[in-house]
């Protein structure tokens, strides 16, 4: 059993009385006061998350772009430096190694941000695929702390607290900034469906920035609210909507797969899957009676199991029981009536789109 790690903000979380749980090898704050309160702060105002558990991997070398485009479902070579691109790394069979953000630093360097629970696996996957490419791959996760400042007031707060004007930083771009005399990387990205920023820096820098935000009434939010927020924005989570058993096409993430690229790992199998038609897909569900559909609950139709819930909640913003679910393709049509098995009851619902709420990005 590996030792459970602490982020650089661990002491803060404990002092605040957060409920701490082990997640991906780290003791992380799940909730400080209440998930609905933290969730609403991000939807309506601004909140901040310690996401230092996320993995940071740096790819450098003459073939950096060529290499990333070989292992990445989306495309980076044609983008300008300073862009952030979301996509996935795929196995040869088209299922997902991980989803990630690629920050294009220069023509010879990319900064990859991956899921905490997959960092080790991703690093090995990258290294295993470097043959024939002039690149070095470095797992720098231990050197970085990361926080996310999210919500409609995030930009104003960064100006107010640090005098940092981020109004010129476009959605899915990043830059290096000096905050409190520390050089940090700031991107206009997040995992909540709201405007906001992710800040990467060394541990001391991130602690100072976090403390300054804390003194200026930015509410700390735990992983509990992070999940309810990403879910309402129908953003996938590895192990739920995507996994090493699920392809991006089944997960509804085709727009992040660039079939125009000459080659990338997994392309051939995905093309075959497209040609033969999908057998299952991730859909939205809305229950028409009050109950809460949770991960793993069976989705039923005509007394047969046709799928399972991948994530479900009583939506905090909408007040309705909604879910994402993997169902057989023939039942994926919007409006299809289904049942969700919840304990001893079968609760009726319908297949709906995944636009549970309007994303509030500043583009």
Footprint of another protein (CB under 8 A): 19, 30-31, 34-36, 224, 227-228, 290-292, 294, 313-314, 316, 343
- Residue 183 phi/psi, 5° resolution? -85, 125
Instruction: Supply 332's token pair.
Output: 């994926």
Q: How far is the CB of 346 from another protein (least distance, A)?
A: 14
If the CB atoms of residues 41 and 179 are measured against another protein, the closer one turns out to be 41
SS3 95: coil
Closer residue to another protein (CB): 254 or 294 = 294
Q: Which is nearer to another protein, 21 or 244 (CB)?
A: 21
Q: Cβ closer to another protein: 141 or 315?
A: 315
Residue 177 DSSP class: E
Q: Are the C-beta atoms of residues 315 and 321 closer than 8 Å to each other?
A: yes
Looking at the Cβ atoms of 228 and 234, the one nearer to another protein is 228
CA atoms within 13 A on the CB side of 327: 30
Nearest distance in Å: CB 291, another protein: 7
Give the total residue count for the chain: 363
CB of 358 to another protein, least distance (A): 22
DSSP 331: G
Q: Which is nearer to another protein, 151 or 321 (CB)?
A: 321
Query: Is the Cβ of residue 35 or residue 51 nearer to another protein in the bound state?
Result: 35
Distance, CA of 284 to CA of 335 (rounded, Å): 10
| Sign of the dihedral through C-alpha 183, 186, 191, 193 | positive
> In the complex, what is the shortest distance from the CB of residue 36 to another protein, in angstroms, rounded to a whole number?
5
80: left (phi over 0), alpha (psi -120 to 50) or beta: beta
Rounded Cα gap, residues 31 and 228, in angstroms = 12
Instruction: Classify 116 as helix, strand or coil.
Output: helix
> Is 334:353 a contact under the CB 8 Å cutoff?
yes
Distance CA(28)–CA(51), nearest Å, equals: 9
Question: Which of 21, 214 has the CB closer to another protein?
Answer: 21
Handedness of CA 171, 174, 178, 179 (dihedral sign): positive
For residues 43 and 36, is the Cβ–Cβ distance under 8 A? Answer: no
**Structure tokens, 121:** 């696996």
């Amino acid at each position: 059993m590996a030792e459970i790690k602490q982020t650089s903000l661990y002491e803060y979380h404990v002092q605040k009385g957060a409920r701490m749980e082990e997640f991906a090898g780290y003791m992380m704050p799940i909730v400080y006061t209440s998930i609905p309160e933290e969730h609403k702060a991000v939807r309506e105002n601004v909140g901040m998350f310690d996401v230092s558990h996320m993995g940071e991997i740096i790819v450098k070398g003459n073939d950096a772009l060529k290499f990333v485009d070989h292992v990445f479902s989306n495309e980076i070579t044609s983008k300008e430096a300073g862009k952030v691109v979301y996509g996935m790394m795929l196995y040869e069979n088209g299922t997902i190694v991980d989803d990630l953000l690629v920050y294009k630093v220069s023509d010879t360097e990319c900064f990859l941000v991956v899921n905490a629970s997959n960092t080790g696996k991703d690093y090995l996957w990258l290294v295993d695929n470097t043959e024939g490419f002039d690149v070095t791959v470095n797992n720098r996760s231990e050197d970085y702390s990361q926080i996310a400042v999210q919500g409609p007031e995030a930009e104003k707060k960064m100006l107010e607290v640090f005098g940092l004007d981020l109004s010129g930083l476009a959605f899915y771009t990043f830059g290096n900034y000096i905050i409190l005399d520390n050089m940090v990387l700031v991107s206009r990205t997040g995992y909540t469906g709201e405007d906001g920023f992710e800040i990467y820096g060394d541990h001391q820098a991130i602690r100072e920035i976090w403390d300054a935000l804390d003194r200026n009434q930015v509410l700390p939010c735990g992983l509990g609210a992070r999940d309810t927020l990403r879910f309402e924005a129908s953003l996938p989570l590895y192990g739920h909507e995507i996994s090493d058993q699920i392809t991006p096409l089944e997960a509804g993430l085709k727009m992040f797969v660039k079939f125009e690229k000459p080659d990338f790992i997994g392309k051939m199998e995905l093309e075959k899957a497209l040609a033969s038609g999908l057998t299952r897909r991730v859909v939205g569900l809305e229950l028409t009676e009050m109950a809460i559909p949770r991960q793993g609950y069976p989705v039923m139709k005509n007394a047969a199991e046709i799928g399972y819930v991948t994530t479900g909640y009583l939506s905090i913003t909408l007040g309705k029981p909604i879910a994402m679910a993997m169902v057989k393709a023939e039942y994926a049509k919007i409006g299809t009536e289904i049942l969700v098995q919840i304990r001893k009851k079968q609760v009726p619902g319908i297949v709906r789109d995944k636009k549970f709420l309007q994303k509030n990005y500043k583009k």
